[in-house]
Amino acid sequence: MANVQAGVPPTDKALDVEREGPRPRSDLSRQRLRSAWLFLAPMLLVLALVAGWPLVKTIWFSLTNASLSDLEGAEFVGLRNYWEYVDYGDGEGEYFGLLFDPQWWNAVYNTVYYSVISVAIETVLGLVFALVLNAEFKGRAFVRAAVLIPWAIPTIVSAKMWAWMMNDQFGILNDMLMTLGIISSPVAWTASPDTAMWAVIIVDVWKTTPFMALLILAGLQMVPGDVYEAAKIDGIHPVKVFWKVTLPLIRPAILVAVIFRALDALRVFDLIYVLTPNNTQTKSMSVFAQENLFQFDKFAYGSAASTLLFLVIAFITLFYIKIARLDLGGRGN
């Protein structure tokens, strides 16, 4: 019993309250709940129209033989776009469909690999930048604004800019590295199978680290200053203060920042599409779906890829929320 002090026996009234359980909502609480749903209703309606309906249509098209030139004439074929066994009549057969397509699984691997590496690097660098920006120094406001510039630049512009910088013929990156003696010959950063994925990761880290720093900085701003003053008076080393005080207090902010960034990374399209077009080493799930939807005129197959993309992202998100024990209900448990 939470309200009974240690060593003090509970009274009959306290026992009755415990037996009765939680009290029913008052009229005021019910009125507030109705008002909350009333205000949320327009947003939920718009969300259902712009997100829910297209998702339902995409799932439906994945179960048909639809083509881009004849969407209205699509016929139901079941799960044939996902898997289908073709019997050759001689006792042998072969499986076809998205789940048996090596190009699809290559895209899944590329997407997960890119997401894990880029989000991990951005989280570490974002934490470092947030700690620096949270310190008191002259010109801090200007530095905070300047750090956000890469994030404010549109992804298409960033990708094109870095594509020029990484060009093996006239790129400034190769020129700098050759001048410093780090490389002996120009490197085709976006074309070579060994460096294409890392080129994408470098550009993404440059662009999105400020976003992570901004979210983590917001968490640092919520840490009470008297905690650091007490640690300073007690003579605790700053490194120990970071690991024992700062990091546990900003853990919720870091977890939220990671899940936001991971959701964005798992559906990456524009950066890869512009920086490394037609490159199987970097092709993501979104690029794979777009190619089949519009370039190859395999609309049903692309819809199946889009559906699986949604399921993969949903599963990874729910798994992350579960293992991180995020309190999305705001109960503070």
For residue range 101-144, list pLDDT tens digits in order.
999 999 999 999 999 999 999 999 999 999 999 988 888 889 88
Q: Which pLDDT does position 282 carry in this prediction?
A: 95
Render pLDDT for 294-326 as a digit per residue (tens, 0 to 9).
999 899 999 999 999 999 888 988 888 888 776
* Nearest-angstrom CA–CA distance, 267 and 262: 9
Residue 218 reports pLDDT greater than 70? yes
Average pLDDT across the chain, whole number: 87
Total residue length of the chain: 333
Domains located in the chain, CATH noted: 101-296 (1.10.3720.10)
Which of 309, 303, 284 is CA-nearest to residue 103?
Answer: 284
The Cα 136–Cα 147 span in angstroms is 16
Q: For 63-124, give the DSSP string.
A: TB--BTTBSTT--B-TTTTT-EEEE-SSS-EEEESGGG-HHHHHHHHHHHHHHHHHHHHHHH
Give the C-alpha separation, 181 to 28, whole Å: 73
Query: Of 251, 286, 280, 283, nearest to 268 (Cα)?
Result: 286
From the list 23, 22, 39, the residue with the least C-alpha distance to 31 is 39
Is the per-residue pLDDT at 223 higher than 60? yes
Q: Rounded to two decimals, what is the model's pTM?
A: 0.82
| Amino acid found at 316 | I
**What backbone phi and psi angles, to 5 degrees, belong to 125?**
-65, -40
Of 22-31, 37-46, 146-155, 198-207, which one has max mean pLDDT?
Answer: 198-207
Q: What is the pLDDT of residues 245-254, one digit of tens each?
A: 899 999 989 9
Q: How many CB atoms lie within 10 A of CB 276?
A: 23
Lowest mean pLDDT among 181-185, 280-284, 326-330: 326-330
pLDDT at 73 over 50: yes
